[in-house]
Amino acid sequence: MALELKDLTEVMEAGSARGVPSPDLLDGVRRRVRRGNRLRAGAAAFGVVLVAGSAFGIVQQDGNARGRHALGPAPTMTGVVNQDFPESAGRDGMQPLKEVRFSTLRAKGRFTVTPTGPFMGVALRCSGDFMVYKEVKPGVFDGGGCSKGSPDDSATSVSKVTPGVPITIEVVAVPLQDSSEQGPNTLSSMADVNRYLGSHGPMSGNWSVRVYSGQCNSDACTKSIHPPTQSKRLPVAGLKRLARVTGTADGSSRTVPLKEPGKSMRMRVTCVDGAAVAVARIGGRTKVVDCESAESMGIVWDQEVEGGTNGIEIAVLPAEAGKVHGTVDAALAKLMKGVKPAGKWTLEVYAH
């Protein structure tokens, strides 16, 4: 029988008050314990239900908390450094500096490099069709496509740097085929990436980031450091989408049907991995869009069509096709003569 401290205390205090110790203190203690057990047993018959309910509520709350965080961003990956990369060929006049390999999509990777020259170039290699976003310092964010089976690295993004000063790069790769409203094409900052990762669990996928540094001697430096800018990026979040289509930049025209007739629309064209110029024909009007300049962010504009339209015609050409002067099909076909299709593009149409 378990004895509680309060039972012993009561017996000892009672004995002390009488001035003469009880001949058998243990019997008194046992009687008090039995009385206490009877009282507690009666209360337990009623209270056990309340205790069980409380315990269940705690378990449920904890379970819900785990569910809320089950798809939170995975821990930052350090990746695996390719020790042989510094011995490989240079790029755009810059020398190979570091290659870091990753095996997980939808998870942030982070690594640090120390530039050896005034320019730093970053290129990608992927085992599938991914979008890769990176931030080389707070606020300097960009993204680009990375295609499976590409014979060489993706186009290098170049930035001006200070030699000898370490730079920490954050990178994230996500599946290109994810086409939801909150998918890869809507990400325009690392804050957007964090929200995306919070609702999409990590998955397997091999990809790597290659970093070069030195004196850049190609046009890629000028385009990357001083890219054409869009004065105002029009939002598409919350708008009803009328159409979405993707394709390869091969210069051929295709008609994109709308879910319902459109009169006032917001258009977005995104070009990655070598797709460069889009020719859009909307309600009898033609617009030439330099979609390569915005890369994964996309070019967005508003389009009014008097009387409305049920479809939009679009053709996209790769960078190798050169500057577009004529926009009729024959002129586009002439530009594509001897040019291989390259790159991927996406057209989205929203009611506005």
pLDDT of the chain along its 352 residues, tens only? 555 555 656 656 555 545 544 445 555 556 665 666 655 555 444 443 333 333 333 333 333 333 333 445 556 888 999 999 999 998 888 999 999 999 999 999 999 999 999 999 888 888 888 888 888 766 677 777 777 765 455 556 788 888 999 999 999 988 876 534 444 445 667 787 888 888 888 999 999 999 999 988 876 566 555 544 444 567 888 899 999 999 999 999 999 999 998 889 999 998 888 888 999 998 878 888 888 877 667 888 888 888 889 999 999 999 888 888 778 888 899 999 999 998 889 999 999 8
Cα pseudo-dihedral 280, 282, 287, 288, rounded to 10: 0
Residue 256's closest CA among 316, 216, 211, 196? 316
pLDDT at 55: 31
pLDDT at 155: 53
pLDDT at 199: 84
Cα pseudo-dihedral 200, 201, 205, 207, rounded to 10: 60
pLDDT at 6: 58
Give, for 244, the enclosing helix (H) or strand (E): strand 241-248
CA 295/CA 267 separation, integer angstroms: 15
pLDDT at 331: 87
pLDDT at 4: 58
pLDDT at 218: 75
CA 167/CA 111 separation, integer angstroms: 8
| Dihedral sign computed on CA atoms, order 216, 218, 221, 222 | positive
**Residue in the block written with tokens 């006032």:** 264
pLDDT at 57: 33
Spell out the residues 6+ positions from residue 147 whose beta carbon is closer than 8 angstroms to its own.
126, 129, 154, 273, 344
Angstrom CA distances, 331 to 140, 276, 317, 319, 341, stand at 38, 16, 12, 16, 16
DSSP symbols for 104-172: EESSEEEEEE--SSSEEEEEEEESSSEEEEEEEETTEEEEEEE-TT-SSPPPPEEEE--TT--EEEEEE
pLDDT at 156: 65
